[in-house]
Amino acid sequence: MSEIALTRVGRLRQEHAGGLRQARFFAWTFARSPSALLGLALVTVFLVLTLIGPWIVPYPEHARGAVDLANRLQPPSARYWFGTDEMGNDILTRVIIGTRTSFWIGLTITGLAAVVGVPLGVASGYFGGRIRSVIMRVTDVFLAVPGLVLALAIVAALGPGILHGVLALAIVWWPGYVRLIEAKALTLRSEAYVEAARTMGASHTRILFRHILPNCMGPLVVKASMDMGMAILAAASLGFIGLGAKPPAPEWGAMIATGRTYMPDWWWYSAFPGFCIFLTVLGFNLFGDGLRDTLDPRSSR
Amino acid sequence: MTPLLEIRGVTVRFGAAEALRDVSLALQPGAALGLVGESGSGKSTLLRVLLRLQGVAEGHVLMDGQDITGQREARLKALRRDVQVVFQNPHSALNPRRTVHDSVAEPLQIQGGLDGRAIRTRVSRLLDEVGLGEHFLWRYPHELSGGQKQRVCIARALAPGPRVLLLDEPTSALDVSVQSQIIELLRRLREHHALTYLFISHNLAVVQLLCEEVAVLRQGEIVEQGSVEQVLHAPQHDYTRALLSSVLPPGAYRLQQGQAAS
Amino acid sequence: MSMIEIENFRLAFDGFEGRAHVLDGIDIRIEAGESVGIVGESGCGKSVLARSLLRLNPSPPARVVSGAIRFEGQDVLAMDRAALRRLRGGTIGMVFQDPVTYLNPVFTIGRQMEEVLRAHEPQLSRAARRDRCVELLEAVRLPQAGALLGRYPHELSGGMRQRVLIAEALAGKPRVLIADEPTTALDVTIQRQVLELIADLVERLGLTLVLISHDLGVIGAVCRRILVMYAGHVVEDAPAEELFRAPRHPYTRGLLAAMPDLRRPGHMPSGIPGSIPDLRTPPTGCRFHPRCMMAEAVCRATKPVLLGGDGHAVACHMAHVPA
């Protein structure tokens, strides 16, 4: 089979055949778990709502807090599927728009935490020695303080608002990534193919980017998926105690907080946002679990 | 003749334990030296000392007569090109996320000087030399058998055009029918490329096939060294004799305590 | 009635991209007191077969397609949980390859052995159990057995750990011992000692032995009868001397030719061309035919049956043709 005879497409297909087969295998393994599929479904719904939410909501003007006192605190009905809040806003609309807020909150927290935590973890695990000591000490300090308390302190210092809440949580979150990636990098360092690379004269940079990092992706992706859910929950918790998003921003936690004063008679106000948090976190957890089972072939092949 | 690669009086300590004690070994150009040792003998440490992946408490490592013991990585370029290793376990010696082509191309990429197309041609030729067809180029390690993976490792080791191959139990993890194919391949490559081999194995019969000289390592010390005929057929040291009497040749006999009665 | 009867046993593994036919019609009879070796290379199914005797293959993805396994007339595949538990360890003891993973690192040796005893001889008092543990450890020639009971697995060498595993396998006073690559992970000098021990125990206790290995040297040293397996089939079944002297199956001949022999320095072993087939799409007819020098049309068409009247059976259409 000479180079000239193969078309460009043919060559590409040949090069990536193995990768495609891998992808199919992952999909097949993933699909064998009903809970993983449920997680995938929930996460997909969540992402779809994030994307097209603003265009499908029944009452777009309610998203930012219009006032329609005539319809305040209406129970769930055909007109208002989730009922209305004390300003007359449709809760369904606000919940759907809130999906967007939750998405970028979760993504930012997880993203920032990973961007900071992964390099530190890789450096710590791969280089060891003094670098590791320093990084571990710093990480230990952050881990010693309970997450939410630290976040509270930071937000209290910076002032309330979603942005500060997200920043605070990202600062709390990164040590987890360091720990996870460090453990993986440590085992990878003594793999035969890493030693082989060293005997070829590979620089540390090359080894890190070509051999260590790609093989850390598995645990990283699993953790990031599960963290999305937990980060959203944490942000909602901040919102709940009034240190995150401020009304009338349609953030789930803030909605639950405001709705608390209307419990139990106007239960739908807190219940539906709460239920959405539950479904979202559940979805990401199940999805992350499914990913872990797929990427970690402990189950029989 | 100046040995290609040599260690003199090397002692390596891990804490209080001595993995190697005053070990001297020389690889003459063109030689095929066998190193026999069981677990705990220090053979892995010795290998890593030769590759300069392990520091020494005492002694020297020399290449072409030059002392490279204390040298920094940046100055070891010649070593990294001229001395290559094939590991025991083919299953962990290849990055699972890289195709065969990428793994074999890596030493060429590190060396530099070749563009993508030239590298691909070189890789194809190397794979051909180890008996693997073009369709293996884009396979992933998990799609290969043990023997095929080991061939890929050999191709990778040959890529930078080394003078010395350090073979760490290259056939121990393979089936016996595959083992002989690999041994035949190694013989052929040695002739073809005028290579020098250090062949580490606990399997004396295999050492006999491939090597001319053999050294026996026990708990960090070389207890016997000489030609294959001398060491394997007229051993001097008790340990060597014990090793030889533990070999179970193919055949039906009854094992009795102490000796085998046919 | 033979002690162990495996009749037309077929087992498959369901996985990605299809079903692998790992065992394809195994027929074996083992009488009480025999020392049988099963030899084959990776993927031949020997370990799966050994585990099937005790139903140890995880059941998805493993699936018994057809056939029967009988132990002293009892159907192993149909046994209830209680009977199976009595069988495992009680009637049939099993020793595996890697002592590191088969001993729990957080329990002392004594504790682990006592657990085995408690399962199979619950009537023993604490003191009697301890005595029996010491007895077992001495039977496998471990020195200072009493002190050993208080040690942890990591304090023992590989050879010692394997002896402990053998002792555990014998704890329930089994009549059959299955050893799956018992010495592969051990050093050469220790390997010989452990094999001598196994041979000795088998003789002294009158055990039936099934020894599995990829190493014909190991098998020849201990077993009187050898079964050669390839890609899920038994291809040859002969007394050990005969197998080495006059092998009849091309694969067996290939295996023997591939073994390096210290006693023959000039002799270069030959490999077997090709590689083991993908068991999801195995070759038609004889599974060895793609690699066989002597293959003819009939070999591609029909699966050969294990035949032979003189105690030496072979599954090959070309068996009558001289080598």
Q: Are B77 and A17 a contacting pair at CB < 8 A? A: no
**Over the stretch A170-201, which tens digit does the pLDDT of each residue have?**
888 899 999 999 999 999 998 999 999 998 88
Give the E-state strand segments of B64-159 in sequence order: 66-67, 83-86
| Cβ atoms within 10 Å of C302's Cβ, excluding its own | 12
Q: What's the confidence (pLDDT) of residue B151?
A: 94
Burial class (CB in 10 A: 0-12, 13-18, 19+), A70: exposed
Whether residue B258 has pLDDT greater than 60: no
Minimum Cα–Cα distance from A28: chain C residue = C16
Question: Could you say which residues from 3 to 22 on chain C have a Cβ atom under 8 Å away from some Cβ of chain A?
Answer: 13, 15-17
- Residue B134 pLDDT grade (very low, low, confident, very high; cuts 50, 70, 90): confident
Minimum Cα–Cα distance from A29: chain C residue = C16
| Per-residue CA distances from C90 to A259, C120, C131, C278 (Å) | 65, 6, 19, 37
Whether residue B253 has pLDDT greater than 80: no
- Residue A114 pLDDT grade (very low, low, confident, very high; cuts 50, 70, 90): very high
A19 CA to centre of own chain: 26
Helix A213-240 to helix A147-158 angle, to the nearest 10 degrees? 60
Query: How far apart are the C-alpha atoms of A164 and A148, rounded to whole Å?
Result: 13
Chain B residues lying within 8 Å of C261, measured CB to CB:
205, 249-250
Mean pLDDT of B232-248: 90
Residues on chain B bordering chain A, Cβ-to-Cβ distance under 8 angstroms: 51, 53, 76-77, 80-81, 83-85, 87, 89, 92-99, 103, 106-107, 110-111, 117, 120, 134, 137-140, 143, 153, 156, 160
> What's the DSSP call for residue A89?
-
> What are residue A248's phi and psi, to 5 degrees?
-90, 20
pLDDT cut 90: percent of chain C above it: 47
| Per-residue CA distances from C56 to C32, C62, C104, C148 (Å) | 22, 10, 19, 30
Q: Is the dihedral of CA B197, B200, B203, B204 positive or negative?
A: positive
Residue type, B128: D
- Count Cβ–Cβ pairs < 8 Å, chain A vs chain B: 70
B221 DSSP β-pair partners:
B218
C64 DSSP β-pair partners:
C11
Whether residue A8 has pLDDT greater than 90: no
Q: Is the dihedral of CA C120, C121, C127, C130 positive or negative?
A: negative
CA Rg, chain B, in Å? 19
Chain C residues lying within 8 Å of B206, measured CB to CB:
260
Q: What's the confidence (pLDDT) of residue A5?
A: 55
C275 DSSP β-pair partners:
none
Q: Would an 8 Å CB–CB cutoff place A26 in contact with chain C? A: no
Residue type, A239: G
Query: How far apart are the C-alpha atoms of A66 and A88, rounded to whole Å?
Result: 8
Q: How many CA atoms lie within 13 A of B129 on its CB side?
A: 22
B142 CA to centre of own chain: 23
- Residue A6 pLDDT grade (very low, low, confident, very high; cuts 50, 70, 90): low
Contact A118, A209 (CB under 8 A): no
Mean pLDDT of B123-140: 91
Minimal Cα–Cα distance from B188 to chain A, Å? Answer: 23
Helix (H, G, I), strand (E, B) or coil at B6: strand
Chain A residues lying within 8 Å of C16, measured CB to CB:
25, 28-29, 301
pLDDT cut 70: percent of chain A above it: 95
Q: Tell me how many degrees the CA angle A266-A268-A272 measures, rounded to the nearest 5.
A: 155
- Which member of B178, B208, B260 has the closest CB to residue C265? B208
Minimal Cα–Cα distance from C243 to chain B, Å? Answer: 9
Minimal Cα–Cα distance from A193 to chain B, Å? Answer: 4
Mean pLDDT of C98-116: 86
Which of B72, B80, B106, B122 is the mutation pick for testing A, counting most A CBs within 10 A?
Answer: B106
Query: How far apart are the C-alpha atoms of B154 and B165, rounded to whole Å?
Result: 9
Mean pLDDT of B193-198: 94
Q: What's the confidence (pLDDT) of residue C323?
A: 60
**Over the stretch B30-39, which tens digit does the pLDDT of each residue have?**
999 999 988 8
Helix (H, G, I), strand (E, B) or coil at C38: strand
Q: What's the confidence (pLDDT) of residue A301?
A: 34
Minimal Cα–Cα distance from B180 to chain C, Å? Answer: 5
Helix (H, G, I), strand (E, B) or coil at C185: coil
Minimal Cα–Cα distance from A254 to chain C, Å? Answer: 47
| Cβ atoms within 10 Å of A1's Cβ, excluding its own | 9
**What are the DSSP calls for A29-65, one per residue?**
HHHT-HHHHHHHHHHHHHHHHHHHHHHH-S-GGGTT-
Q: Are C58 and A28 a contacting pair at CB < 8 A? A: no
Q: Tell me how many degrees the CA angle B32-B33-B38 measures, rounded to the nearest 5.
A: 140
Q: Would an 8 Å CB–CB cutoff place A28 in contact with chain C? A: yes
Query: How far apart are the C-alpha atoms of A266 and A260, rounded to whole Å?
Result: 9
**A145-154, A287-296, C222-231, range with greatest mean pLDDT:** C222-231
- Residue C70 pLDDT grade (very low, low, confident, very high; cuts 50, 70, 90): very high
Minimum Cα–Cα distance from B175: chain C residue = C41
pTM of the complete model: 0.87
- Residue B261 pLDDT grade (very low, low, confident, very high; cuts 50, 70, 90): very low
**What are the DSSP calls for B44-79, one per residue?**
HHHHHHHTTSS--SEEEEEETTEE-TT--GGG-HHH
| Per-residue CA distances from B32 to B29, B65, B143, B168 (Å) | 9, 19, 32, 13
Chain B residues lying within 8 Å of A15, measured CB to CB:
99, 138
ipTM confidence score: 0.85
Burial class (CB in 10 A: 0-12, 13-18, 19+), C200: middle
Whether residue A59 has pLDDT greater than 90: no
**Structure tokens, B162:** 């080394």
Contact A110, A118 (CB under 8 A): no
- Which member of A3, A19, A196 has the closest CB to residue B85? A196
Whether residue A300 has pLDDT greater than 50: no
- Picking from A53, A101, A71, the residue whose alpha carbon sits closest to that of residue A266 is A71
Query: How far apart are the C-alpha atoms of A65 and B75, rounded to whole Å?
Result: 68
A203 CA to centre of own chain: 33
Strand order in the sheet with B58-63: B17-27, B5-14, B58-63, B66-67
**Structure tokens, C243:** 């197998």
- Residue A90 pLDDT grade (very low, low, confident, very high; cuts 50, 70, 90): confident
> What's the DSSP call for residue A90?
B
Minimal Cα–Cα distance from A295 to chain C, Å? Answer: 14
Whether residue B124 has pLDDT greater than 90: yes
**Over the stretch C123-142, which tens digit does the pLDDT of each residue have?**
888 899 899 999 999 999 99
Whether residue A3 has pLDDT greater than 60: no
| Per-residue CA distances from C272 to A140, B178, C44, C322 (Å) | 57, 7, 15, 19
Whether residue C26 has pLDDT greater than 80: yes
Minimum Cα–Cα distance from B241: chain C residue = C189
pLDDT cut 70: percent of chain B above it: 97
pLDDT cut 90: percent of chain A above it: 35
User: In the predicted model, what is the mean pLDDT of chain B?
Assistant: 89
- Residue C16 pLDDT grade (very low, low, confident, very high; cuts 50, 70, 90): confident
Long-range contact list for A190-198, CB < 8 A, 24+ apart? Answer: A191/B92, A192/B87, A192/B89, A192/B92, A192/B93, A193/B92, A193/B93, A193/B94, A193/B95, A193/B103, A195/B53, A195/B85, A195/B87, A196/B85, A196/B87, A196/B93, A196/B153, A196/B156, A197/B106, A198/B51, A198/B53
For strands B5-14 and B254-256, give the pairing.
unpaired
Chain C residues lying within 8 Å of A28, measured CB to CB:
16
Helix, strand, coil percentages in chain A from 3-state DSSP, rounded to 5: 75, 0, 25
Q: What's the confidence (pLDDT) of residue A76?
A: 84
**Structure tokens, A268:** 């739908």
Which of A25, A293, A300 is the mutation pick for testing C, counting most C CBs within 10 A?
Answer: A300
**Over the stretch C238-284, which tens digit does the pLDDT of each residue have?**
999 999 999 999 999 999 999 988 888 878 888 888 888 888 889 99
Query: How far apart are the C-alpha atoms of B197 and C4, rounded to whole Å?
Result: 49
- Picking from C87, C38, C18, the residue whose alpha carbon sits closest to that of residue C225 is C38
- Picking from A82, A90, A83, the residue whose alpha carbon sits closest to that of residue A65 is A90
Whether residue A4 has pLDDT greater than 90: no
- Picking from C16, C41, C32, the residue whose alpha carbon sits closest to that of residue C256 is C41
Containing H/E element for C7? strand C4-15
Helix (H, G, I), strand (E, B) or coil at B190: helix
Q: Would an 8 Å CB–CB cutoff place C126 in contact with chain A? A: no
**Over the stretch B95-114, which tens digit does the pLDDT of each residue have?**
998 999 999 999 999 988 88
Query: How far apart are the C-alpha atoms of B25 and B4, rounded to whole Å?
Result: 11
Query: How far apart are the C-alpha atoms of B112 and B105, rounded to whole Å?
Result: 11
Query: How far apart are the C-alpha atoms of C70 and C3, rounded to whole Å?
Result: 8
